[in-house]
């Protein structure tokens, strides 16, 4: 009996000495940080406002009245400006252009490049992704390569001109996006 107790005690001691902690399970998407927290950057209301006002100013300089929508990275509205004399269709279209820029930012530089790739025009059928449109005027807002929002302009005659206004809004705060 005493031999059995000694063998059990020796085997328990050997097992605990050889025991290693189990590796952490793999996760998807990859988690960063020692506490499982993913750090991101966000677009502030103040910065979004500066972007929107600069876009409106650019469109006015070009002789256009537009609607500007600035969305955060999740697609939620941060700032909305509707200049005097804009059509009612510009409200939803500005938002959709910004949403398109955010949604497709990893594949297309702007909603215009997406529209060109799809050979799309304003009269084209909508995509199968709700809120995504094949029209120029939306530009993603990036901070150190990370998409933190999007801006959409609607109301200038031609999406290419809307895109100029959107880009001017981002360019006005470029020093803060480095």
Rounded to an integer, the average pLDDT of 70-90 is 97
Q: CB neighbours (10 Å) of residue 133?
A: 26
CATH of the domain at 88: 3.30.450.150
Q: Tell me, yes or no, whether 12 lies in a domain.
A: no
Q: Tell me, yes or no, whether 58 lies in a domain.
A: yes
**Could you give the CA distance from residue 71 to residue 88 in angstroms, rounded to a whole number?**
19
- Check residue 28 and give its pLDDT: 47
Best CA proximity match to 27, nearest among 17, 37, 19? 37
Q: Residue 95 pLDDT > 50, yes or no?
A: yes
Report the b/e string of 67-106 with b at 16+ CB within 10 A.
Answer: bbbbbbbeeeebbbbbeeebeeebbebbbbbbbbbbbbbe
C-alpha distance from residue 56 to each of 53, 59, 159, 164 (Å): 5, 5, 15, 11
Rounded to 5°, angle at Cα 175 from 158 and 167 = 5
Q: How confident is the model at residue 62 (pLDDT cuts 50, 70, 90)?
A: very high
Q: Which domain holds residue 150?
A: 45-177
The pTM score is: 0.77
Task: Say whether 148 sits in a helix, a strand or coil.
Answer: strand
Rg (CA), the chain: 26
110: tokens are: 């702007």
The per-residue pLDDT for range 108-143, each reduced to its tens digit, is 888 888 888 887 766 566 667 888 888 899 999 999
The label of the residue with tokens 């059995």 reads 4
The per-residue pLDDT for range 31-50, each reduced to its tens digit, is 566 777 888 899 999 999 99
**Percent of the chain residues topping a pLDDT of 90:** 57
What total number of domains does the chain contain?
A: 1
Q: Tell me, yes or no, whether 24 lies in a domain.
A: no
């Amino acid at each position: 009996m005493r031999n059995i107790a000694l063998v059990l005690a020796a085997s328990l001691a050997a097992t605990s000495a050889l025991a290693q902690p189990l590796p952490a399970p793999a996760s998807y998407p990859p988690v960063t940080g020692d506490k499982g927290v993913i750090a991101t950057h966000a677009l502030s209301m103040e910065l979004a406002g500066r972007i929107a006002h600069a876009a409106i100013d650019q469109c006015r300089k070009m002789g256009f009245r537009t609607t500007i929508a600035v969305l955060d990275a999740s697609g939620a509205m941060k700032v909305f400006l509707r200049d005097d004399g804009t059509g009612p269709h510009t409200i939803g279209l500005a938002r959709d252009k910004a949403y398109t820029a955010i949604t497709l930012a990893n594949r297309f530089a702007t909603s215009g490049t997406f529209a060109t790739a799809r050979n799309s025009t304003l009269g084209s059928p909508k995509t199968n992704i709700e809120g995504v449109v094949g029209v120029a005027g939306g530009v993603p807002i990036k901070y150190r390569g990370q998409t933190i929002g999007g801006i959409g302009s609607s109301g200038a005659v031609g999406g290419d001109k809307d895109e100029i206004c959107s880009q001017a809004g981002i360019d006005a705060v470029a020093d803060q996006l480095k």
